[in-house]
Amino acid sequence: MNWQIPLMLAQSTDNLEELRKRTAAISLDGTTVPDSALVRDGTSNPFSTEYWFPTQASSFAAEVDFLYMAVFWISLVFFVAIVGVMIYFCIKYRRKGDVIAPQPSPSHNTAIEILWSVLPSILLVWIFYVGAESYFDMRIPREDAEEIHVTAKQFAWIFTYPDGDQTAELHLVRDRPAKLILQSEDVLHSFFVPAFRQKMDVVPGRYTYAYVNPTQSGQYRLSCNEYCGTGHSKMKTMCEVHDTVDDRKNNTKWIKADHQPWENGKRTYQIQCSGCHKVNGEKATGPALNLIWGIDEKLMTGQTVKVDEQYILDSIWEPAKDVVDGFGPVTKMNSFKGILNQNDVNDIIAYLKKLKEESPAQ
Amino acid sequence: MVDAVTRQKLFGTPEIHFLNCTKGWKSWAFTLDHKRIGIMYLIGVTIALFLAGIFALVLRSHLFKFDSKMLSDDMYNQMFTLHGAVMVFSFIIPSIPAALGNLVLPMMLGAKDVAFPRLNLASFYLWIIGTGCLLLAILSGRGLDTGWTFYTPYSIDTNTGVIYATFGAFVLGFSSIFTGLNFLVTVNTMRLKGQGWFKLPLFLWSLYATAIIQVLATPVLGITLLMLIAEKTMHIGIFDAKYGGDPVLFQHFFWFYSHPAVYIMILPAMGVISELISVYSQKRIFGYSFIAFSSVAIALLGFLVWGHHMFTSGQSQVVTLIFSAITFTVAIPSAVKVFNWLATLYKGSILLNTPMCYALSFIFLFGIGGLTGLFLGALSTDIHLHDTYFVVAHFHFVMVGGTLTALLGGLFHWWPKFFGRMYNDLLGRVGCFLVFSGFNLTFFPQFVMGSRGMPRRYASYDPEFLPFHQLSTIGAFVLGIGILISFIVLVYAAFKGPRCGSNPFRAASLEWQSSSPPDFHNFVHSPVLNDPYDFDSQVYDDELDTYISREFADPTKVPPRTEPVHH
Amino acid sequence: MAVADTHEIHDDHHHDHGEFIAHHFDGPEQQFDSGKLGIWLFLVTEILFFGGLFVAYTLYRSNHPEIFEQAHVFLNKYLGGLNTIVLLFSSLTMALGVRAAQLGKNKNCAVYVLITMVCAAVFLGVKAVEYSHKWDMGILVRSAFNLTYTHPAPVTSVGKWLHVSDYLVYISVIPTLLLVGFLVASLMGKLMEKNVFSKFMLGLSIMVGGYFLGVGVGLIFMDVAEGGANESHASIQTADQPLMLHAMTQETREDASHDENHDKTAESHPAADHVDGQAHHEEHAHAGGEAFSAHHPDPEKLSRNVGIFFSIYYCMTGLHAIHIIGGIVVLSWILWRSLLGQWRSDYFGPVDYVGLYWHLVDLIWIYLFPLLYLID
């Protein structure tokens, strides 16, 4: 049984730089997102906060963990008491032989009933109060919070920063509070970063928001937490907390003119397409794209069509037209007309050609 | 006062009883007898349990390996949807009320049948039709991938068999309403003469509270599912944001039913446990009226807490706060029950046979299920834990650790009554031990995964969760084997077990005053009213080798009462 | 044998209570009480069933009042009012029927129940006129909502002959078949000397006749209502005169040629999409000056979600209509048993239960009518 291997995996990634490279390679295309929040000490002691939780990376994470551990101890005391008493009675008063002889004992006692109704109630009120208090810390954004737009769609995230940059991962700055304005293009999703203890549903037709004040730099897993369809479990990305605003800018800015067309295409792919199309040869919600260029694709209708510029443009603008065999009968893809213009498509085509060239399978 | 011959006639093993009084499939398919309907229900829900259980094992097998390719994402989504939908709608909701309740409820009242026997049979056939429609989603080749909650707008967008499944759930809803309505009327109008409300066994109180929920909450699910079908076929725009509708409204409607439905699942289980604990301690239940009223309190409070499923859904913060506060109030009556059960054990004469082992497992597992509810009722922790494996583990501890355990315990308790044969107690306890340990192994690791941030309904996971998933999968198979053993023990006993008397456990509620198996009319002789927890009213009869009421016993052999008669 | 003996002990419980006491009840009171409690609980579930829709209504009305403001003008409150009166009257006859059953007057009971059923059918007839009129105008649920004000010319021969909407013709196919079937069955019964059956079938035919009565009265009411509005909005009313009213409003028509033109356009664009509708409005605006009014608002200016009102309208009235049809079915059962003369002063439960159900169906309409038709 290789139970220890994954733990080693998680712990061997001390080097943040290395982790970042792996993340870039895996999180957008593959399935795993290593999370620096999980590299913690004390994970072997099940009575510690560290055992139950990832890193506390937001201003309110400690409050949540405190309440959790408080309830944990209250529950533990009650549970041990209940089960202890139960086992003790079962041993002490177990029936011996065939003789049924319960000892006389009262079957009713109003005082004790009221006692064990009221005492737990007091604890419950306290739990409710602490929970509500920290809830408002989680829900009420600081006045100076920057606003970042988060668009969720099947099965990817797009983050838009105040200066107009767009990325496929969320980049935040340490100690700089952010109000994430959530919107959905299709169905319900949910924004969830365990290291922040923050979660909010993304509801089509209305705006919701999530507030976070990151207190610790690092890379954390961000996942969709509301079931949204076939690729739900692939709708994960990364939330990186930087030390300075400049660091963040280095990661989010993208000047097209500074890059080759295929690089621009790769970036567009990562933001817009990677939720459903992989470039590692794996079939996901849509076909893999790494070897697609130039081949004869078999369609639902039984026809074959050559993957050329026209086919790519059609597939992006009118996905319902040529559905690839095995992905129908009705395509799950929405039209990107109006989202991607012809130049964007040209960049993507350049990227597809590049992928094909670099493919070892050639 | 009766003579030995009549005693034999009343309490000896009858040659003709409800199982064999008429023969042929028609005598079952068109029966109006509540006991036969109960047994058919039992067979039905068992099939549903095995089917949904197989789905669960497939899911767990898939998750055993990291980055598993056993199921495609699509298949995985369909598996967990069908597992949830079949378990909830076809198994848990009807399990204790419709199967056990149908068998026991009229007899506990000393009645010959439920008030509306034809409605009762209709309820069963609706169950068949509804379950059939659910399964039609698979047979149609399109499957079902919405999750059992059918959340809009995904359920509107997806091409899978949502219409079959929602129609199935709609029909199952009516099946449940009919059962509940029948039970309410039966308990109200058909009690034995002189049997006041406080002379009812607590199982009946819990079934009554359950029936209130079934009647009041299920219609809302019905109309919601109809609207969903209309939305899917005609796009009426009530729930679909594309047409100006509100997806969150669907969640409100859905949980307005489905939260009370949680209590449809757990309340009858609590009733069963109240019976078992007291019978196998041979002690009057402690705090009868507190347990009784706590059932009603849970049923009523259950209607006011649906919003706690939606703390992160975008509902207003004030509403969220209120729902959290009310949620905590449900904890009190639940805790009261547990404390009362413990107090019943005190100074009892505790027999650790199979049903009692299940009852004790129930207290253990429901304890965990209930206490972990506190984490989810508190607002800030729920934000983190919502829709993670923590929630999955929590509700499985309540639904499986609670309801399934109680169902098995109840079956082992009443099995000798309805089949007149005893099971192998040792094997029964082995099954119970496997169910208990397998269950804990399956779901305890999920608490850890949940608070570490593993979302539910994920076909794949990050490597650090691997050991927990593997433990969980191993546990699931142990649990499966445990259930299978219990099943075999019971089925074997029904056909080949040694004969047992009418009341082998010295229980005092009225159903034990019939022969085992009972007569077609339930009671050959009108039962003698007695307090359901006055075990001293039952005395051992050595000729019959079973316990019978003092009124029927040979007066020369009746020992004096050890406790005064309660009023 | 032993068991058989004891069964006999049981059986003598209910020998003297007659044939209608089920074996598991102790006596008629217990049976009646059980049934009564059962039906009340059933009504509770019905109320909650509709409750979901009422909640949806309330939420949308409070969140989007403009939709309700804009949409209610398309509902004809005269037709709604007519149906309200019909249902109220049917509740009266139902109550009289229950009373007759209680007194054991089976014949009276049958008559009252039959009148109730006829009222139910009249209600459905009026509803059919309303529905078909809306479908003609493109007033459908949210996604299909496409208000055009035009009425496609009927293509079915019956539609052409009677100048009524095709939809009305389609809806009326089933009642027509039922009418023929019931009449034939009644005649057959007469010939085979099965008098009760024959009477029962005759009763059902009369009931279905009620449907056609409802359609006729509905068309006349529609005419009166639209005619009344005509005076204030002459131009558009003339143009938009529902085609189903051709026969009845021939004299009042001022500009026949205009109407011809209108029909042709509608036929040449059977799809009757938005552009088509727009073209019409321009045409009307040109021909008759003021084209749109409070009662005929410009489709372009309506909220795009105005169809949600009609989604709710169709859900609520549709579900209610299904309950009316269900009511007719159970009332038929009561009618049949009345004709058999089965009600006695100690056994009339089923009439009572069905009566309660019928009152609830009536009551729901009493709420639906103001909520949907009388906004403002």
Read off the pLDDT band of A332 (50, 70, 90): confident
Q: What is the ipTM of this complex?
A: 0.93
Mean of per-residue pLDDT scores for chain A: 83
Of B343-352, B418-427, C276-285, C333-342, which range is least confident? C276-285
Residue in C295, C302, C255, C263 with CA at minimum distance from that of residue C280: C263
Length of chain B: 567
Spell B42-69 as b/e; 16+ CB within 10 A means b: bebbbebbebbbebbbbbbebbbebeee
Residue C308's SS3 state is helix
Residues of B within 8 A of A226 (CB-CB) are: 151, 387
What is the distance between the alpha carbons of residues A329 and C315, in angstroms, rounded to a whole number?
Answer: 31
* Number of folded domains that form chain B: 2
- Residue A361: predicted pLDDT: 55
Mutation site for C-interface testing, chosen from B114, B119, B156, B185 by largest number of C Cβ within 10 Å: B185
Residue A175 sits at φ, ψ, to 5 deg, of 60, 20
Are B435 and B408 in contact, with CB atoms under 8 Å apart?
yes
Q: For the sheet with A170-173, list strands across it.
A: A170-173, A236-242, A218-224, A189-193, A198-202
- Residue B220: predicted pLDDT: 94
Are A120 and B371 in contact, with CB atoms under 8 Å apart?
no
Nearest CA in chain B to C41: B181
CB contact under 8 A, A188 and B154: yes
- In CATH, the number for domain A256-358 is 1.10.760.10
Of B111, B236, B521, the CB nearest to C7: B521
Task: Count other Cβ atoms within 10 Å, centred on residue C157.
Answer: 9
B452: closest CA of chain A, how far (Å): 5
- Residue C316: predicted pLDDT: 95
- Residue A5: predicted pLDDT: 35
Classify residue B469: in a domain, yes or no. no
pLDDT at A32 over 50: no
Are A146 and A165 in contact, with CB atoms under 8 Å apart?
no
Residues of A within 8 A of B342 (CB-CB) are: 82, 85-86, 89
Of B217, B234, B519, the CB nearest to C3: B519
Classify residue B64: in a domain, yes or no. yes
pLDDT at B305 over 50: yes
Spell B166-200 as b/e; 16+ CB within 10 A means b: bbbbbbbbbbbbbbbbbbbbbbbbbbbeebeeebb
- Say whether the B–A interface has 3 or more Cβ pairs within 8 Å: yes
Copy the structure tokens of residue A31: 């399935």
Residue B311's SS3 state is coil
Segment of A30-44, A108-122, A215-229, B383-397 carrying the highest mean pLDDT: B383-397
- Residue C304: predicted pLDDT: 81
Q: What is the mean pLDDT of residues A238-262?
A: 89
Q: Helix B405-419 and helix B34-64: axis angle, to 10°?
A: 140
- Residue A356: predicted pLDDT: 84
Copy the structure tokens of residue C326: 């269900």
- Residue B465: predicted pLDDT: 86
Which residues form the domain of B74? 33-266
Q: Torsion-angle region of residue B565: left (phi > 0), alpha (psi -120 to 50) or beta?
A: beta
Provide the percentage of residues in chain B whose pLDDT is more than 70. 99
Residues of A within 8 A of B379 (CB-CB) are: 128, 131-132, 134-135
Which residues, including other chains, have CB under 8 Å from residue B45's CB and lie 6 or more apart?
Answer: B90, B91, B94, B95, B98, B99
- Residue B564: predicted pLDDT: 62
Mutation site for C-interface testing, chosen from B102, B170, B238, B246 by largest number of C Cβ within 10 Å: B238
- Residue B140: predicted pLDDT: 83
Q: What is the mean pLDDT of residues B193-213?
A: 94
Of A198-202, B72-76, B203-207, B250-254, which range is least confident? B72-76
- Residue C260: predicted pLDDT: 41
Residue in B463, B142, B92 with CA at minimum distance from that of residue B266: B92
> Given a contact as 3+ CB pairs under 8 Å, which chains touch A?
B
Q: What is the DSSP string of B21-43?
A: SS-SHHHHHT---HHHHHHHHHH
Please tell me which residue, B136 or C283, carries the higher pLDDT value. B136
Residues of B within 8 A of C55 (CB-CB) are: 253
pLDDT at B557 over 50: yes
Q: Which helix (H) or strand (E) holds A219?
A: strand A218-224
Task: Count other Cβ atoms within 10 Å, centred on residue C33.
Answer: 17
Q: Which residue has the tokens 């209608």?
A: C20
Residue in B540, B564, B537, B533 with CA at minimum distance from that of residue B550: B537
What is the distance between the alpha carbons of residues C280 and B286, in angstroms, rounded to a whole number?
Answer: 80
Please tell me which residue, A124 or A255, carries the higher pLDDT value. A124
Copy the structure tokens of residue C236: 């558009």
Please tell me which residue, B121 or B65, carries the higher pLDDT value. B121
Could you tell me whether strands A146-153 and A178-184 are parallel, antiparallel, or unpaired per DSSP bridges? parallel
CB contact under 8 A, B246 and A205: yes
Which residues, including other chains, have CB under 8 Å from residue B373's CB and lie 6 or more apart?
Answer: B331, B394, B398
- Residue C18: predicted pLDDT: 58
Please tell me which residue, C247 or B129, carries the higher pLDDT value. B129
pLDDT at A238 over 80: yes
Classify residue B11: in a domain, yes or no. no
Let me know if B427 is exposed, middle or buried by CB neighbors in 10 A (0-12, 13-18, 19+).
middle
Of C10, C41, C141, the CB nearest to B181: C41
Residue A125's SS3 state is helix
Q: What is the CATH number of the domain that holds B57?
A: 1.20.210.10
Domain A146-252 fold: Immunoglobulin-like (2.60.40)
Residues of B within 8 A of A54 (CB-CB) are: 452-453
- Give me the residues of chain C with pLDDT under 70, please: 1-19, 225-294
Angle among Cα C157, C160, C164 to the nearest 5 degrees reads 115
- Residue C248: predicted pLDDT: 39
Mutation site for B-interface testing, chosen from C10, C21, C26, C45 by largest number of B Cβ within 10 Å: C45
Read off the pLDDT band of A159 (50, 70, 90): very high
Nearest CA in chain C to B223: C49
What is the distance between the alpha carbons of residues A19 and A9, in angstroms, rounded to a whole number?
Answer: 11
What is the distance between the alpha carbons of residues B506 and B491, in angstroms, rounded to a whole number?
Answer: 23
Of B114, B185, B524, the CB nearest to C37: B185
Task: Count other Cβ atoms within 10 Å, centred on residue A166.
Answer: 16
Which of B215, B245, B266 delimits the end of a domain? B266
Which of B238, B266, B294 delimits the end of a domain? B266
Question: Where exactly are the structural domains of chain A?
Answer: 146-252, 256-358
Classify residue B206: in a domain, yes or no. yes
Residues of C within 8 A of B119 (CB-CB) are: 38
Which of B240, B266, B292 delimits the end of a domain? B266
- Residue A329: predicted pLDDT: 73
DSSP single-letter state for residue B200: S
Residues pairing with A178 in the sheet: A146, A212
Q: What is the DSSP string of B394-449?
A: HHHHHIIIIIIHHHHHHHHHHHHHHHSB---HHHHHHHHHHHHHHHHHHHHHHHHH
pLDDT at B525 over 90: no
Residue in B490, B491, B399, B411 with CA at minimum distance from that of residue B439: B399
pLDDT in tens, B229-278: 999 999 998 999 888 889 999 999 999 999 999 999 999 999 999 999 99
DSSP single-letter state for residue A333: P
Q: Is A115 on the interface with B (CB under 8 A)?
A: no
- Residue B208: predicted pLDDT: 96
pLDDT in tens, A2-26: 333 333 333 333 433 443 344 333 4
- Residue C270: predicted pLDDT: 40
Task: Count other Cβ atoms within 10 Å, centred on residue C255.
Answer: 15
Classify residue B69: in a domain, yes or no. yes
C365: closest CA of chain B, how far (Å): 17
Distances (CA, A) of C36 to B33, B193, B269, C30: 22, 20, 30, 10
> Given a contact as 3+ CB pairs under 8 Å, which chains touch C?
B
Copy the structure tokens of residue C214: 């409802």
Distances (CA, A) of C108 to C111, C203, C337: 5, 14, 13
- Say whether the B–C interface has 3 or more Cβ pairs within 8 Å: yes
Q: Is A257 on the interface with B (CB under 8 A)?
A: no
pLDDT at A162 over 70: yes
CB contact under 8 A, B321 and A135: yes
Residues pairing with C3 in the sheet: none
C239: closest CA of chain B, how far (Å): 30
Let me know if B128 is exposed, middle or buried by CB neighbors in 10 A (0-12, 13-18, 19+).
middle
Report the Cα B509 to chain-centroid distance in Å: 20
